[in-house]
Structure 1
Amino acid sequence: MSGSIWMPPGAGPATLPAIPRQRTAPSWAEPDPIDQLAARLDEFIAAAVHPDEIAALLESDGLSDDQIRERYGVRNSFALAEELYDRVERRYPEPEGPAHDPWQTGLLGCLLRGVVFALPGLGYVLGAPLLAGPQGDLGLPAGTIPLLAGALVGWTWNQGLAHRAYSWLSLGDRPAARRSLLLGAPAGALLGSLVALSAVGTAGIGAVAFAAGQSCYLAAATALLVLGRERALLAALLPMAAGAVLAMIRPVPDEARAILLLGSLIAVVILGLLEVTPGSSRLKGRGELRDQPQRARRRPTTTGPRLAGSLPYALFGLGSGILVLYAALGGAPAAVALTLSMGPAEWLLHRFRSDSLAGLRSTSTSKDFWRTTAATLVKCLSAYLAALLALSLAVSALWPHAPGVGGIGLAGLLLLGVVLWTGLLLQSAGAVLSAAVICCVAALAQTLALATHAGDPHWVGLIVYGTAAGVQAALVSGLLGRATAHR
């Protein structure tokens, strides 16, 4: 029949030829050479972040493009690297051992530094007869004016000097750090003494001598603290501290006061000179052996840190020093509590930086990282304020005849603590210029307000500290989510 297909009798759909099944490779077939290569280089390929890393490895093994085309059937090393990169799943193994954390530090060492910061304040107890006299223009005894002027110069100069020495240490050049201290510390002591002499006014020669001794102490103590000799500094201060405590209980002759002050000062100065003088026995002994691993890791550099880089740190020392000075004028317990709190403040600052590094490793988005660091910030700042509050209450209880810290004064003290701690945090995050400007502006505003009698000093301090604390807290909040600020 036209148009039909002839079929034999009995033929039908069941008799159509079966569709051939897909053939499988015989068991004796050779495996894919690219799979073999991927298995051999599995760990390296899994950790690679780009195919070019794999291509560099292939070329370092001596594989030419001709060999790659012959063995693997691809045109060159880059094509083979891309094929290997696609076939192996990404795996980024954690490094062996605990992650490196440069911010780990011991609580005991930080507390020791806080005590060392506070002990020199007992020297003012022994030197009180030298500072007595009629009140000056600021309502203070005339002898305190040159003392305060020299102290401000010392805080400013030595803050910048310490930063420069620490910069040399970070470059692995400890001899250069010692040289900078050997030259800078005497210059700072001389400058502080000259400023104290220029502000002598109606004060006696005893006040000027005490201010000059204070400048020498600040210079020598800076060298010892930078080079990690807190224990030696503490030992030199203990006789003076014991004498000051005795003077609080019973009268001490003026000759004994002078001997205790001069003895501790001479001991501190000698220790400082032994630390920084080239060729001293200290430099050739245990200290040099302790420095060997650091010098092995970092070779000394001929390009030193810029002098201008230490200027913001000096300005921060000036601004924060004036703010602390005004707090001290409102009551000695507040100044003592602030000074003692610098030990916990330093430890909590290291704790914040350490936890921030851990958060950087454990989070995958900038928003999650910001939340983690913000929680760490609140925890550390709250712990510092709790420590400052406890110290202020304890000092007030142990010093019954001194003006107590309470009410508006206590609120201002806590806000000043926020200013100081967030300022130190901004310093460590590389925003020291912002902290220096804020503290200097706050110090200038408080000075002008007090000089013009614009209001009650406690309320002025509360407003100034609160404003500075708010601005610095906003700056810190903006830095929290930036990974580069946590290096």
Structure 2
Amino acid sequence: MTDTVPLRLVDPVDALATKVSDRCGLAIDPLQIAAMLESDGMTDRMATQDYGYKDVFALAEDIYRRIPHRGPGEPLPRPDRIQALRELSHGLLYTMPSAVFPAVAFLLGARNTITGMVYATAFGWVWTMGWTSVAYRMTGHGRTDLAAKVLRRSLLFGVTLPSLVGIPFLSPGAWALAVAQLAFQLAGGILLFHRREPVLFALSAPAVGVGLGFLFGGGTRPLAVAAVAAAGACVLLVCVFAVLQVVRVPAVKEPAIRIRAEVPRALPVIGYAALSALYLLSADARLDQPRLDLALAVTPIVLGMGVLEWRARRFGERSLGLLRRTRYPAEFRRRVLRAFAVDLVVAVGTLACLALVLAAFLYGHGQLSRLGAASLAGHVLLGGAYFTGFLLINQARFGRLLGVLGCVVAGYLGAVAYLGPDRQVPVFGACSALLVFGLVIGLLPDLGQVWRYASY
């Protein structure tokens, strides 16, 4: 007679709970565990067939009850100051090319300059955001070689296609400006993607210096020609460095991913960029408006864009930190809403300070009108909308983002068409206020949902 060993059956849910406990010990809501399970490939069908639950959420609730909770975790590492400085420099880098435009306008005329700028900005804004989002997805999958391929194609086709399209209806001067601006914008975007802000600054600084020399050196034709020549050399060098950045990437074979499969996911980003460009350019690209204060009203939002990017990233990091120090969902919601309010005030306050400095300068030179002050205020509000939009993008809430933005843009264009161009500035200010209000209302329901944050 032989002894028999009793068979011990292991509860599959216990086994799964043990497997995920290290990652879920800091969870404060079952929905966080459900999000983690779904990211690992768990489906409702698997939850039913393998574990006997009606869906992933029911399974996650049981796992939440079974795993030991470690309480508040260790604080996240200190913020990367170098990364913060890089992001803060973006506003300056975005503004630097404008130092050359007065010299360009001196040679080409204001109408040709504005036409070329608007054409290049509209196309480059949409094109860059769309393809950069695809490149970031490739990088997230570990395929840096495919990200480089995406950026190479973006630069090549992003310059050639609009160049060919613009030949029939752009004057030679406007066409040349548009091509140069597109090349600089796309190549500069590649350098920013690879965190080469110092390189872009060093390559742009000489042209900026010559452009400022034209402004403060009497505005003569030789200085204008020198500024444009320096700008052309800058564009060429930036393109060379950008190409070198994306051709020296080693090939990676795994995981197997097709670029074409990721393109549809970039469509919401492209839609957001298109609506944003339409709204801002329709407000600022006034071919018949010679006033300096209206022309410079966009400066605070461009110069402060780095602050908006920095605060949006830090909000995400602080939200994760709050999850590690919070025990209850209600507490997390209160604290994250307070953090959002602080960041929104900082973002809008920074732009307001920049606008006040510009307004004081214009007022001191007798160039500030009521319309100019109203336009500055409208752009400050638009900056608050951009910041809130960044957070909606980070949480993939494109439906609300595009819905609110689309309604505001349609309302703005319709109101200007009905009331006339003389009412354009106050309508822009009112619509910008509605935009930031609508986006905040669209964001608030999601801010306190802990499952939207990767806490493990």
User: When the two structures are superposed, what TM-score results if normalisation uses the length of structure 1?
Assistant: 0.71
Query: Rg: which structure is higher?
Result: 1
- Structure-2 separation of matches of 1:469 and 1:478: 15
Q: 1:165 aligns with which of 135, 147, 170?
A: 135
* Alignment correspondent of 1:411: 377
- Structure-2 separation of matches of 1:328 and 1:249: 25
* Alignment correspondent of 2:89: 112
* Alignment correspondent of 1:175: 145
Q: 1:425 aligns with which of 368, 383, 391?
A: 391
* Alignment correspondent of 1:469: 436
In the alignment, residue 206 of structure 1 is paired with which amino acid? G
- Structure-1 separation of matches of 2:409 and 2:68: 55
Larger mean CA deviation between 147-156 and 389-398 belongs to 389-398
Q: 1:320 aligns with which of 262, 268, 276?
A: 276
Structure 2: 5+ residue runs without aligned partners? 1-12, 20-66, 286-292
In the alignment, residue 475 of structure 1 is paired with which amino acid? G
Tell me: CA distance 1:337–1:197, structure 2 relative to 1, closer, same or farther (3 Å).
farther
Does the 8 Å contact 1:240/1:264 carry over to 2?
Answer: yes
1:356 aligns with 2:319: yes
Q: How does 1:28-177 map to 2 (within 5 A)?
A: 52=15, 92=70, 98-99=75-76, 106-132=83-109, 141-177=111-147
Tell me: CA distance 1:166–1:104, structure 2 relative to 1, closer, same or farther (3 Å).
farther
Q: 1:389 aligns with which of 334, 337, 352?
A: 352
Q: How does 1:86-485 map to 2 (within 5 A)?
A: 92=70, 98-99=75-76, 106-132=83-109, 141-200=111-170, 204-250=171-217, 251-252=219-220, 253=222, 254-277=224-247, 280=248, 283=249, 300-304=255-259, 306-329=262-285, 331-398=294-361, 400=365, 403=368, 407-454=373-420, 456-485=423-452
- Structure-2 separation of matches of 1:105 and 1:364: 32
Larger mean CA deviation between 185-194 and 466-475 belongs to 185-194
- 1:285-333: CA deviation from partner (whole Å, max 9, x where unpaired): xxx9xxxxxx9xx954435552111111112112222333245347233
Q: Secondary structure at the match of 1:109?
A: helix
* Alignment correspondent of 2:7: none
Does the 8 Å contact 1:345/1:421 carry over to 2?
Answer: yes
In the alignment, residue 70 of structure 2 is paired with which amino acid? Y
Equivalent pairs counted in the alignment come to 382
- Structure-2 separation of matches of 1:220 and 1:55: 49
Does the 8 Å contact 2:359/2:373 carry over to 1?
Answer: no
Q: Secondary structure at the match of 1:155?
A: helix
- Structure-2 separation of matches of 1:412 and 1:214: 26
Does the 8 Å contact 1:146/1:196 carry over to 2?
Answer: no
Determine which structure has greater relative contact order: mean sequence separation of CA pairs < 8 Å that are 6+ residues apart, divided by chain length: 2
Tell me: CA distance 1:270–1:369, structure 2 relative to 1, closer, same or farther (3 Å).
same
Q: Secondary structure at the match of 2:215?
A: helix
Superposition deviation, residue 117 in structure 1: 1.4
- Structure-2 separation of matches of 1:418 and 1:236: 31
Q: Secondary structure at the match of 1:456?
A: helix
Q: Secondary structure at the match of 1:430?
A: coil
Does the 8 Å contact 2:72/2:327 carry over to 1?
Answer: no
